[in-house]
A and B are shown apart, each in its own frame.
Chain A
Amino acid sequence: MTAAALTGVPALWDALTSEVTAGRRFAGLFGTPRPEGLLLSAHLAGDDGVRTLEAVLPAGAASYPALTPRLGAAFWYEREIHDVFGVVPAGHPRLAPLILPPDEHAAPRHVTGHGMFTIPHGPVRSGVFESIEYLVETPGEDIPHVSLRVFYKHRGIEKRFGQLTAADGVLLAERAEGIASVAHALAYCHAIERIAGVSAPWPAALVRVLHAELERIANHLDVAARLADAAGLAVATARFGWHKERALRLVSRLCGSRFGRGVVVPGGVSALPLLGPAGILDELSQAEKAITADATALMGTASFLDRLRRTGPLRPGRAREHGALGPVGKGSGFTDDARGARPYDAYSALGLPPARPHTGGDALARLRVRWDEVRQSFQLLRQATGELGEAAAAGPLRADLTETHGLTGRAVGWAEAPQGEVLYDAATEAGRITRCRPRSASFHNLVLFHEVFAGDILTDFPFIEASFGLSVAGVAL
């Protein structure tokens, strides 16, 4: 990997901010305990890959100058480092516990005034949701502030990686954020393959694209169903729920799992799809026709659009500054798609079909981005399936990773999940994982939730939440 080691944390921040000013996107800040101290690794994404800058905070140092005042996107990353390692980023605006459940659950209050009260919304919420607590501060109708507490379902995934072999690690990656199982497995495997210096053979690269795009379609249909449900469109909810069910069933017909689990393995894929290319193409054309018709109808339903327009706005400038990922970023004009900018597997050859730019920044723009992505996905699926028909017979499905047993090194892998770019910083020693830090798009994007309630009221909440389309499992890890 391209890692540059710097002496001293201030020098690291200087280099980092100048890189961001020069146009690279801040993609994550992780801490790693080392004998000499705490290693701080900052990842920067660009068109040539992900670059890593590092510096060591010497053992015994209790604090360091915070990065957050200079780079707001580091807000949650520094809180997580503080949670886990106990070091204090001096000058950080709010060092509340983020991923580790604290002893006391007293609700923080940010807004004071006549009639202000806090609605603790969660962690057990009405409906089938993942556990998260939103503290909605409101005088009754407006929402001047929302606090998030994500630590309830922290599972210790990062530490658990350290007990697994490089080969078994992909199973845990699939369970880091289950609704993006394929993307997490891909990002993990890309890191391992980069350490081993191999890449997936062509048929395997096509199968990977196939599953990644089906996962994207299922996720976007899930968002559409949730938005329709929030608007009280019973038939639309049922229709998109049905389309999503058919997408998951297609995945299960290809591999036995409705979430594409067990397909992606380090070095390639475990098997070819159980359904032949002709069968897949037939299913795809039926699905595309039905989904497109219902999506067109939904985008022509005035009572639905009224609820999304100007709801949960994220300013384009803010999206760029934060490096907002996936549909959240794209809806605000910040387009950074790992499939196009840092292509992997078969994307390098297939290319990413062009998409329309969106700058609205509201829930409507985010939904439009999702429909564009669904269209792109179907195009990629057709291409990949067609190619697979010719490539399937030829060659192995896995690059030889017998070297895995002696696999030692460190690398960064990435993949574009339906939520945005997933990043894995993995280190192995003699075939076993010594450290693996996943960073989901959900973690990077969810912090923006604080900032999108300008002018919105309580009944807009479910629309804004659904339009982000994130998974809490990937946040608290």
Chain B
Amino acid sequence: MWVLRGLRNGVVTTRWPKRPDPYADNWRGPATVRDPRPTNTDGLDQICPTGAITTETAKTARPNGSVMTASVRLDQGRCILCGHCVAARPDVFAWSAGAAAAALTRGGLVVPLIPETDENLASVRRGLRERTAALRRSVHLRHVDAGSDGTEEWEILALLNPVYDVHRLGIFFTASPRHADVLLVTGAGAKGMTEPLRRTYDAMPHPKVVIAVGTDAVSGGLVSPSYATTGGVGGTAQSVGGRSGDRSPPVVSDPRIHPAVSATPEEGAFSPSSPTPNPEISGFGRGGEADPEISGFGEGVCGGVGESVPEARGVPVDVWLPGSPPSPFGILHALLLALGRLPGGGVSAGRTGREGRTVSEGRER
């Protein structure tokens, strides 16, 4: 009986990436910059709740004296697709179209692209090619949730439904990290998952590829800054430029919190007023009477938990995929990008028609 039901609706599977798919091409991706040099930049960097938008003023020498020009940048790795910027300043910001949101470098998620040396990009690309060349047509995935909101898991699972059917591309999910070639990591980098994530990564055989799935995994999204997360799965060491430099995001110095709310009065309300913890339970890292700064919530607890995690280590990310959550097509695109299997340079993935993209070589097409 179920066999007949299975045949009832014919083939529902997409032919993407061999054929274009309207759902992939029309997908509403992260916000992008339509006009990188707007005349009016007042309050632009205050719009974004995750601080993805930064403005800069530069002095340009002209024959008739110097002129101040303002420029705006948007880090899609922080974009949670709330649309506040598109609603507030449609002259400067727009939605990007298409599911192809992933980039091979963290800096590749910034629009307009910060010019990177061809050498650097080529070496990243070459390094990945060398690792993935041996994987060819049978690739096994392992997923680890490092503090997601649960939606990324749904979208990864969707790859198994008959519409996306990732098996048709020779891609399979595996239970054991020992059999895995690709690690999909979701979530903002919950500190409780740092060790399990690292152990899973270490258990995978070489060559291995890591994909950060979703804005939370890329940068921590709206969930970070938080005492309980590392602000993305790349780990603090990597995301602030401690690693080899080439993968670190070029613009991360902007405040993570909306400046208007950074000085919160509730710090007073949360401050050293809670009952003194029982020394007996200080084993949980909550300290004792000695430390009046233990506030019962937040920083005091943070210190305790932080001690139990020696260093906020992440895993080295190869492909950065923003989205809150990314669509299944976006995950599929990121996978094929990592494996170097996008046909025709991946143009059908839907990056075509993107507004505000002035430099294109930073992103694999």
Enumerate chain A interface residues (CB-CB to B < 8 A): 33-38, 57-63, 82-88, 95, 97, 100-103, 123-124, 126-131, 151-160, 162-165, 168, 171-172, 175-179, 181, 222, 233, 235-236, 238-239, 241-242, 244-245, 248-249, 252, 256-259, 261-262, 270, 294, 297, 301, 429, 432-435, 471-474, 476
Q: Which residues of B contact A102 (CB under 8 A)?
A: 284-285, 308
The complex places the Cα of A376 from the Cα of B156 at a distance, in Å, of 29
Q: How many A-B residue pairs have CB under 8 A?
A: 277
What is the distance, in angstroms, from A54's C-beta to the closest C-beta of chain B?
Answer: 15
| Residues 134-174 of chain B, each 1 if its beta carbon lies under 8 Å from chain A, else 0 | 00000000011111111111111110111100000000010
Given contacts A160-B225, A177-B149, 19 further A-B contacts (CB under 8 A): A33-B271, A60-B275, A83-B284, A100-B304, A101-B309, A123-B192, A128-B143, A129-B145, A152-B190, A152-B192, A158-B297, A162-B270, A175-B221, A175-B223, A178-B325, A242-B12, A252-B327, A258-B155, A435-B269
Find out whether the CB atom of A128 lies under 8 angstroms from the CB atom of B278: no
Find out whether the CB atom of A57 lies under 8 angstroms from the CB atom of B150: no
Find out whether the CB atom of B2 lies under 8 angstroms from the CB atom of A233: yes
What is the distance, in angstroms, from A293's C-beta to the closest C-beta of chain B?
Answer: 8
User: For the complex, is B305 an interface residue (Cβ under 8 Å from A)?
Assistant: yes
Number of interface residues of B (CB under 8 A): 96
Q: Which residues of B contact A61 (CB under 8 A)?
A: 275
What is the distance, in angstroms, from B13's C-beta to the closest C-beta of chain A?
Answer: 10
What is the distance, in angstroms, from A342's C-beta to the closest C-beta of chain B?
Answer: 25
User: For the complex, is B261 an interface residue (Cβ under 8 Å from A)?
Assistant: yes
What is the distance, in angstroms, from B12's C-beta to the closest C-beta of chain A?
Answer: 6
Find out whether the CB atom of B82 lies under 8 angstroms from the CB atom of A124: no
The complex places the Cα of A158 from the Cα of B305 at a distance, in Å, of 16
Find out whether the CB atom of A153 lies under 8 angstroms from the CB atom of B144: no
Enumerate chain B interface residues (CB-CB to A < 8 A): 1-3, 5-6, 9, 12, 23, 28, 49, 80-83, 87, 95, 143-158, 160-163, 173, 175-177, 187-188, 190-193, 196-197, 200, 216, 221-229, 257-258, 260-262, 264-266, 269-271, 273-278, 280-281, 283-286, 294-298, 301, 304-305, 307-309, 324-325, 327
Find out whether the CB atom of B175 lies under 8 angstroms from the CB atom of A126: yes
Partner of A155, one of B158, B175, B228: B228
The complex places the Cα of A247 from the Cα of B36 at a distance, in Å, of 37
What is the distance, in angstroms, from A87's C-beta to the closest C-beta of chain B?
Answer: 5
Find out whether the CB atom of A235 lies under 8 angstroms from the CB atom of B5: yes
Find out whether the CB atom of B80 lies under 8 angstroms from the CB atom of A162: no
With contact pairs A153-B192, A236-B2, A262-B81 given, residues A129 and B153 touching in the complex (Cβ less than 8 Å): yes
The complex places the Cα of A238 from the Cα of B112 at a distance, in Å, of 41
The complex places the Cα of A86 from the Cα of B235 at a distance, in Å, of 29
Find out whether the CB atom of B275 lies under 8 angstroms from the CB atom of A176: no
Query: Nearest 6 pairs between A and B by C-beta?
Result: A86-B277, A126-B175, A178-B149, A241-B161, A178-B151, A101-B192
Q: Which residues of A contact B327 (CB under 8 A)?
A: 252, 258
- In the complex formed, the residue of A with least CB distance to B300 is A86
Find out whether the CB atom of B258 lies under 8 angstroms from the CB atom of A33: no
The complex places the Cα of A179 from the Cα of B152 at a distance, in Å, of 9
The complex places the Cα of A262 from the Cα of B82 at a distance, in Å, of 6
The complex places the Cα of A226 from the Cα of B224 at a distance, in Å, of 31
Partner of B151, one of A37, A157, A181, A262: A181
Find out whether the CB atom of A101 lies under 8 angstroms from the CB atom of B191: yes
